């Protein structure tokens, strides 16, 4: 159907949040997800508020030590391609660079923004199709008893969609914080607390209120002995969303020749993609890794622990062995 809405290109953040507070308004940044949702009648909007002209939301800046101990601040309008290509991200936050490099296609990476990637809507075909499903305010999640080969194995108590972002699990593993602006105030919170499980509210993906905008993503400065990575398995070699994926962020003890695979793991973050409605932190796997040397036995045990508690559906049981193999392989790569 044809989407009818008014369009406002905001000249300031204050103007944008003021109009977003009006009933039925939607935010436009890169537009790669929003315009498709409007076209396919996933939801409707009386007004589209564009922030694409707000240069203060662009750019990647270095945060001084006096601010959160240093690190990087990435504007919400920075494109996915810019994230993948930035030298500081590739060298210090490898997992994020790898995740950004496998998002969609080159054309979409050039258009889509990091803020939009974190806030995109589920790709479930029932939600995107002509079904009055639970996420749209209906009574049922049709994927539970329907075609669910791409749906979740964790966290799907009320609705079994999977979070579509590649960048989100990498950022959670790296300890990112998200900055948010509204008409009332500015706030920030860990990205790990930004997402909402369906059991808490099946109609929302994030904690964002209607008049709030993600302005910046902040990354802490990594230690010298930290290694990170992101990898996903998908049906096709390009364009596709994750069947399963894993973001790793490991900090090793020691320095120089004692770091890396030769030292014990002081801190581990294992965050899964393609398997849950939120970036899913595999805490049991992290507990197995911490305090251990990263050898074959440890990697294998952590991989098995990463799927502990999986609740498979009729058509997605293959995700369990696929995820175990992926986690083990990626851990051994970091053992290097």
Residue-number span of the structural domain to which 25 is assigned? 6-54
Assess whether 217 and 251 both reside in one domain: yes
pLDDT tens digits, 274-322: 999 999 999 999 999 999 999 999 999 999 999 999 999 999 999 999 9
Assess whether 11 and 101 both reside in one domain: no
Assess whether 87 and 45 both reside in one domain: no
What pTM, to 2 d.p., does this model score?
A: 0.95
First to last CA, the chain: 53
Assess whether 29 and 102 both reside in one domain: no
Task: Give me the DSSP letters along 65-86.
Answer: TTTTTSEEEEETT-BHHHHHH-
- Residue 180 pLDDT class (50, 70, 90 cuts): very high
Assess whether 223 and 303 both reside in one domain: yes
pLDDT tens digits, 144-162: 999 999 999 999 988 999 9
Assess whether 318 and 276 both reside in one domain: yes
Contact 306, 246 (CB under 8 A): yes
Which residues are within 8 A (CB) of 249 and not within 5 positions of it... i.e. 6 or more apart? 95, 173, 174, 175, 226, 227, 228, 268, 269, 271
| Domain total in the chain | 2
Q: Which helix (H) or strand (E) holds 100?
A: helix 94-101
Average pLDDT of the segment spanning 244-258: 82
Assess whether 12 and 110 both reside in one domain: no
Residue 325 lies in a domain: yes
Assess whether 168 and 230 both reside in one domain: yes
- Residue 263 pLDDT class (50, 70, 90 cuts): confident
Tokens at 13, concatenated = 């953040």
């Amino acid at each position: 159907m044809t989407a009818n809405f008014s369009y406002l290109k905001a000249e300031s953040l204050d103007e944008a949040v003021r109009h977003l507070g009006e009933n039925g308004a939607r935010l436009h940044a890169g537009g790669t997800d929003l315009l498709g949702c409007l076209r396919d009648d996933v939801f409707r909007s009386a007004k589209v508020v564009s922030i694409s002209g707000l240069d203060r939301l662009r750019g990647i800046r270095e945060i001084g030590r006096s601010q959160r101990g240093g690190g990087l601040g990435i504007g919400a309008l920075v494109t996915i391609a810019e994230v993948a290509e930035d030298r500081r991200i590739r060298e210090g936050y490898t997992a994020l660079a790898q995740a950004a490099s496998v998002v969609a296609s080159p054309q979409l990476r050039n258009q889509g923004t990091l803020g939009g990637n974190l806030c995109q809507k589920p790709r479930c075909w029932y939600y995107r199709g002509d079904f009055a499903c639970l996420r749209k305010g209906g009574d049922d999640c049709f994927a539970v008893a329907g075609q669910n080969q791409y749906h979740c194995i964790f966290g799907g108590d009320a609705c079994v969609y999977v979070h579509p972002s590649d960048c989100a699990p990498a950022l959670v593993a790296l300890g990112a914080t998200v900055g948010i602006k509204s008409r009332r105030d500015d706030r920030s919170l860990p990205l790990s607390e930004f997402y909402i499980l369906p059991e808490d509210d099946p109609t929302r993906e994030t904690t964002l209120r209607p008049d709030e905008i993600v302005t910046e993503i902040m990354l802490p400065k990594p230690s010298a002995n930290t290694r990170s990575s992101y990898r996903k398995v998908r049906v096709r070699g390009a364009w596709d969303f994750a069947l399963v994926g894993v973001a790793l962020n490991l900090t090793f003890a020691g320095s120089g020749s004692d770091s890396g695979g030769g030292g014990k793991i002081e801190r581990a973050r294992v965050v899964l993609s393609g398997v849950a409605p939120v970036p899913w932190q595999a805490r049991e796997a992290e507990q197995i890794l911490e305090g251990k040397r990263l050898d074959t036995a440890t990697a294998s045990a952590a991989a098995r622990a990463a799927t502990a508690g999986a609740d498979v559906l009729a058509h997605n049981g293959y995700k369990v062995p696929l995820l175990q193999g992926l986690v083990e392989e990626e851990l051994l790569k970091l053992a290097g």
